[in-house]
Amino acid sequence: MKIGVFVCKCGVNIAGVVDVEKIAEVARNEGCFSEVLDYACSKAGQDEIAKKIKEEKLDAIVIAACTPKLHESTFRKLAEKSGLNPYRVVMANIREQCTWVHDKNKETQEKAEELTLMAINRVRKSKNLKKSKLRVKRKVLVIGGGVAGIETSLLLANSGIDVVLVEKQPSIGGHMALLNEIFPNNDCSICVLSPKMSEVWENEKISVYTNSEVTSISGYAGNFKVKIKVNPRYVNEECKGCIEDCSSICPITVYDEFLGTFRKAIYLPFPQSTPLYAKIDSESCIRCDMCIKACEPKAIDFSQKPEFFELDVGAIVIATGYSLFNPKLKPEFRFGEKGVITLLELERLLSPSSKIKFEDLFKNSPKVAFIQCVGSRDLSTNKHCSVVCCMASIKNAVILKRRYNANVTIFYTDIRACGYEEYYRKAMEIGVKFIRAKPVVEEVKDRVVLKYEDTLLGRVLKEEFDLVVLAVGMMGVDGEFVEVVHPKLKPVESLSPGIFVAGCASGPKDIRDSINSAGLAAAKVFEFMECAELEPYNAFVLPELCVGCKVCERACPSNAIKVSDKAEIVKEACRMCGLCVSLCPNNAIDQGFYSNEELFAEISAVSPGKVIVFACNYCAYSALDLAGALRLKYNECVRVIRIPCSVRVSSKMIVEAMKKSKGVVLAGCRIGECHFGVNEYAKERLEKLRSNLGKEGFRLKGIWCSANEAEKIVKEIEEFVKIVNS
Partner 1 sequence: MIEEIEKIADVSDSNFIFKQNIFWSLEGERKKESREIVYYSNKCSGCRFCVYACPVNAISSYSEQPFILIDHTICCFCGICSSLCPDRAIEFRIDGVKKEPFVVYKGAEKLESCAGCAVCYTICPANAVKIKPILKIDDIHEREFGKNGTLRIDLEKCKKCGRCTLFCDALVAVVDEGIVNILFNEDRCDYCGLCEEVCPNKAIEVVSEYKVEKVGIKKVVDIEIENCIECGLCEISCPYDGVKVHKSIEGEIKVNWRRLEKYCDWESCRMCINICKSKAWYVEEGKLKLKTELCRFCRACMYVCPEKLIEVKVKSINCTPEWSSYKLAINRVLNEKTAELSRSWLLEGDE
Give the residues lining the site for partner 1 (CB under 8 A).
245, 248-249, 251-255, 261-262, 265, 282-288, 290, 293-294, 296, 336, 338, 341, 345, 349, 355-358, 360-361
In terms of CB distance, is 215 or 253 closer to partner 1? Answer: 253
What angle (nearest 5°) sits at the alpha carbon of residue 698, between those of residues 692 and 702? 90
Neighbours of 554 (CB within 10 A): 11
In terms of CB distance, is 328 or 688 closer to partner 1? Answer: 328
The DSSP secondary-structure symbol of 354 reads -
In terms of CB distance, is 132 or 282 closer to partner 1? Answer: 282
Q: CB of residue 328 vs partner 1: minimum separation in angstroms?
A: 10
HSE-up of residue 379 (Cα within 13 Å, Cβ side): 0
Q: Find out whether the peptide bond into 184 is cis, omega within 30 degrees of 0.
A: yes
Tell the burial category of 287 from Cβ atoms under 10 Å away from its Cβ (0-12, 13-18, 19+).
Answer: exposed
Secondary structure in 3-state letters for 274-342? CCCCCEECCCCCCCCCHHHHHCCCCCECCCCCCEEEEEEECEEEECCCEEECCHHHCHHHCECECCEEE
Residues in the chain: 726
Angle between helix 511-531 and helix 147-158 axes, rounded to 10 deg: 40
In terms of CB distance, is 254 or 549 closer to partner 1? Answer: 254
What angle (nearest 5°) sits at the alpha carbon of residue 312, between those of residues 308 and 315? 120
Q: Label residue 703 left, alpha or beta by phi (over 0 means left) and psi (-120 to 50 means alpha).
A: beta
In 3D, which of 478, 476, 483 has the Cα closest to residue 674?
483
Which residues lie below 8 Å from residue 244, measured CB to CB, with a gap of 6+?
Answer: none
Q: CB of residue 253 vs partner 1: minimum separation in angstroms?
A: 6
Decide if 388 contacts 399 (C-beta within 8 A).
no
Q: CB of residue 97 vs partner 1: minimum separation in angstroms?
A: 53
Q: CB of residue 714 vs partner 1: minimum separation in angstroms?
A: 47
Which residues lie below 8 Å from residue 146, measured CB to CB, with a gap of 6+?
Answer: 172, 173, 174, 175, 176, 319, 321, 503, 504, 514
Q: CB of residue 283 vs partner 1: minimum separation in angstroms?
A: 5
Which residues lie below 8 Å from residue 79, measured CB to CB, with a gap of 6+?
Answer: 53, 61, 85, 86, 88, 89
Decide if 502 contacts 473 (C-beta within 8 A).
no
In terms of CB distance, is 356 or 630 closer to partner 1? Answer: 356
As a whole number of angstroms, the distance between CA 431 and CA 408 comes to: 8
In 3D, which of 529, 192, 559, 491 has the Cα closest to residue 318?
491
Q: CB of residue 284 vs partner 1: minimum separation in angstroms?
A: 6
In terms of CB distance, is 356 or 671 closer to partner 1? Answer: 356
Tell the burial category of 429 from Cβ atoms under 10 Å away from its Cβ (0-12, 13-18, 19+).
Answer: exposed
In terms of CB distance, is 290 or 723 closer to partner 1? Answer: 290
Q: CB of residue 303 vs partner 1: minimum separation in angstroms?
A: 11
In terms of CB distance, is 341 or 703 closer to partner 1? Answer: 341
Q: CB of residue 504 vs partner 1: minimum separation in angstroms?
A: 24
Q: CB of residue 302 vs partner 1: minimum separation in angstroms?
A: 8
Q: CB of residue 392 vs partner 1: minimum separation in angstroms?
A: 19
Q: CB of residue 409 vs partner 1: minimum separation in angstroms?
A: 22
In terms of CB distance, is 56 or 256 closer to partner 1? Answer: 256
Q: CB of residue 367 vs partner 1: minimum separation in angstroms?
A: 17
Identity of the residue numbered 286: I
Buried b (16+ CB within 10 A) or exposed e, 229-250: bbbbbbbeeebeeebebbbeeb
Q: CB of residue 251 vs partner 1: minimum separation in angstroms?
A: 3
In terms of CB distance, is 449 or 549 closer to partner 1? Answer: 449
In terms of CB distance, is 252 or 276 closer to partner 1? Answer: 252
Identity of the residue numbered 8: C
In terms of CB distance, is 356 or 460 closer to partner 1? Answer: 356
In terms of CB distance, is 204 or 360 closer to partner 1? Answer: 360
Find how far residue 227's CA is from the centre of its chain: 23
